[in-house]
Structure 1
């Protein structure tokens, strides 16, 4: 049975009589870090005293804001806090993880049990449910920034970032044959996690992505998705006041290059309203946007594909004047014209053909048998031999997230099927021509009002290559444009004293606008260059020059 908003209050009143505990099973895949405990003891360790827990519904409401209401819900053996606020009447935050009275333990108890974790859903108008998984900073959670991470697609789960790139644990396979299918999966500690110095929120959006689900309808455009994300951030910080005054940074990669400018626009616009209104929910302490190998300005970025594939040091074609390169240039020139026309008229009869034209140019590149996200690698797409998106780890993540034990601990419905990427969502956005709008322009007023923006890219990515990303940053018409165009590419030296890339910036500290290229990295920079990515993050969050370390 899935969650019904209308039934929340009634169910909460009946919680003590309908409660049933789902005890963790003995499993070689998902242990609770203490194999010496008996099953009843494990239940007590994870769930705590249920009766006293239910009697302390307000215990974890830190610095409660006016109008915030908290009720209890027990459903399918999972305990939830349900939070509402009149500022967002169509939204409710349903939280799985609550400290249990008498034990101090939390639920879930996965990935990195050394830190506090919170998981649950943002319920939207009774029918749409966005899943999130939050990890406190390993360092100073009361002081460290709050960081939102989104993966792209559109339609791909942010659990990819969590378990394969920058989360506190990394997915692993215990299969005896590393080239074959995973027979069992687990996670290992990630020493280079972005949670080292940040409180990180991983959000599956829009609905239909990962553990997120919809009872009816879907979201097929970034502006609508941005409204949901803003409501989520407001309700989360209202519920967990200890993070409310911390700096907020929003980050992500790939199609998040389209999501994030829209989200930044909504947060920035709503913050301006709240600075002059009497609304009880305070504005978010919004500080910066970080986009990795993103797609934000399609005309410029698609036009750069022939330059990358044929003329750059990372070219995938040996002959820049050969028929393959000439054909690619012709296709992308047409794509660029259609994209620019879409910018001007904003009509689906122009924008959808532009979308199809631009993506069709990648067909001949896929025929090369390369991993489009990291051209240093081959990819066998036959029957997904190399896994979804040419990474076996995507399949391992699906195995892990579809475990009944993991679903139970995270509060996900037992009948949901987790997929790393939902291609139906991808097609919905495609035929809405969502990608074919210049979302980068939404960053201009944000930057002008002091919100910093970092664009970074691994140089071995062909899908959203670093050349196109740098070109669109060059074109961004802000008061920093002249300074950025005159900036010199400065070596980025990581903490191990190696040159890991180059940086260009304009403004103070790390820059009000900055671009970074990362060497020996593809589409997923934190996975390929974990130390350099962590150095980049730490310097950016502290607003220190990104090229530090020379």
Structure 2
């Protein structure tokens, strides 16, 4: 059974990773190595009859010698010949995209007890075909030599895409979107940059970042407000504690800036330790969950569905149907990857915007670690030609198709920030109907 702290610390430890910011990237694309010869890569595919009744494929792509990435593809429930294709990447680093498949946006959910699945009526596959990919290697069902940088990981994902489209050319001409959650906020822009840099024939339209922890120097400053001044929720900490956090933030900021400047692992470890103790510990010591301030819980009490997902995913019958070795030991999150990864920053996003790749950043209003205030703040700091216009734009109401006032949205040019009401770190789980509403509008380039 999964230790729930693996997933929680998978999110928490990425704070150390994002302290190692990337080198400055200008609006001009930097040159990358060409992708490996597709003909030399191996792909093994099965057609499972799990989770949903439509066309689906699963299996492995050997992106390089002994590096095997697991994928599970679901064709759109709508019009698969024309609906967009979306690649979903979970964060961690080291967490399986299987979790979001079953817990958030996929076509089924795992039943209590882990004995089967139930159809998800609000799956994003209602509007798009979707690939759920376990990456980097040794995340989820994937395996092979460890990868320790975001750039290397997304080079592998780019290689995967080339092989996938070579095997399934009927999907290669569809409009393509990349979505990711948490540390996926780093994976996604790097992969998108890869696609643009290599002049790929992939029809990249947009990226979606869900509750990303992208720049703690900016984001952590908002944590006292989330804890003590985040209507409609009641304060979860007393005013004195929040005042102390505010007073302590300059220590966190100074250490983080040192890490940014030196990129020294020791400096970044020090920054993580200071920021964690001053900005995160006060909440968790009070018994609240850092991914959902509405929950006063710990370990498996916070997310009781996760052990069921792991149990189901470790079923021999399920693994055989997916083309996975029945003896494979599946974990939702591989902590070892998280501990060794070297990370990049958010500097890939401005060039994407300048090159007409739309960017949607959304966050639930009850998330603490990756709060909506912090995500709103870092989007305002992006250095692109539309910065002033975006920062001067007002929030407007996001009204779903059924007439629900479900959140607030700010948009200008190709950049959109969406605050989702009554949702925490895993927005689509908390607000499934509303999430399908904004997703369907976004991929069709309709206003929210």
- Same fold by TM (over 0.5)? yes
Distance 1:316 1:226, change over 3 A: farther
Counterpart for residue 154 of structure 1? 93
Counterparts of 2:57 and 2:375 in 1: how far apart (Å)? 34
Once the 2 structures are TM-superposed, how far is the Cα of residue 340 of structure 1 from its aligned partner?
Answer: 2.3
> Which residue matches 1:403?
315
Q: Secondary structure at the match of 1:112?
A: coil
Question: Could you tell me which residue of structure 1 aligns to residue 48 of structure 2?
Answer: 108
Aligned match of 1:423: 335
- TM-score when scaled to structure 1? 0.72
Count of paired positions: 413
Q: Which residue of 2 aligns with 1:351?
A: 268
Q: CA separation in 2, counterparts of 1:378 and 1:358?
A: 22
Distance 1:253 1:91, change over 3 A: farther
Please state if 1:95 is matched with 2:40: no
State the match for 1:329 in structure 2.
Answer: 246
Per the alignment, residue 13 of structure 1 pairs with: none
Deviation at 1:523, TM superposition (A): 0.5
Summarize the alignment of residues 76-225 of structure 1 with structure 2, pairs less than 5 Å apart.
87-88=36-37, 92-97=41-46, 107-113=47-53, 115-173=54-112, 182=113, 184-214=114-144, 217-225=145-153
Q: How far did 1:315 drift? A: 5.9
Secondary structure at 1:132's aligned position in 2? strand
* Alpha-carbon distance in structure 1 between the residues aligned to 2:39 and 2:422: 45
1:93 to partner: Cα distance? 4.0
Quote the Cα distance in structure 1 between the aligned partners of 2:35 and 2:271.
Answer: 41
* Cα distance change of structure 1 residues 331 and 234 upon mapping to structure 2, 3 Å threshold: farther
**8 Å CA contact retained: 1:254, 1:295:** yes
Query: Cα deviations across residues 249-298 of structure 1 (Å, max 9, x unaligned)?
Result: 00011111121121122111112xx5xxxxxxxx2111101001011122
2:442 & 2:138 partners in 1: Cα distance? 32
Alignment RMSD (CA, Å): 1.9
Distance 1:231 1:515 in 2: 30
2:220 equivalent to 1:302: yes
Whether the 8 Å contact between 2:316 and 2:327 is mirrored in structure 1 is no
Instruction: Tell me the distance in 1 between the aligned counterparts of 2:352 and 2:39.
Output: 27
Provide the rounded CA distance (Å) in 1 between the counterparts of 2:131 and 2:253. 36
TM-score (norm 2): 0.88
Structure 1 residues 318 and 419, CA gap change in structure 2 (3 angstroms): closer
Corresponding residue number in structure 2 for 1:17: none
Cα contact 2:310–2:332 (8 A) shared by 1: yes
Partner of 2:436: 534
Q: Check conservation: 1:252, 1:291, Cα contact below 8 A.
A: yes
Which entry has the higher C-alpha Rg, 1 or 2?
1
Matched residue SS, 1:307: helix
d(CA) in 2 for partners of 1:188, 1:138: 16
1:465 to 366, 371, 382: 371
Inter-partner Cα distance in structure 2 for 1:91 and 1:302: 45
- Residue 301 of structure 1: how far off its partner (Å): 1.1
Gaps of 5+ in 2: 1-33
Gaps of 5+ in 1: 1-84, 98-106, 174-181, 275-282
**Which secondary structure state, in structure 1, belongs to the residue aligned with residue 198 of structure 2?**
helix
| Residues 356/218 of structure 1: CA separation in 2 closer, same or farther (3 Å cut) | farther
In the alignment, structure 1 residue 342 sits paired with structure 2 residue 248 = no
Residue 516 of structure 1 corresponds to which residue in structure 2? 418
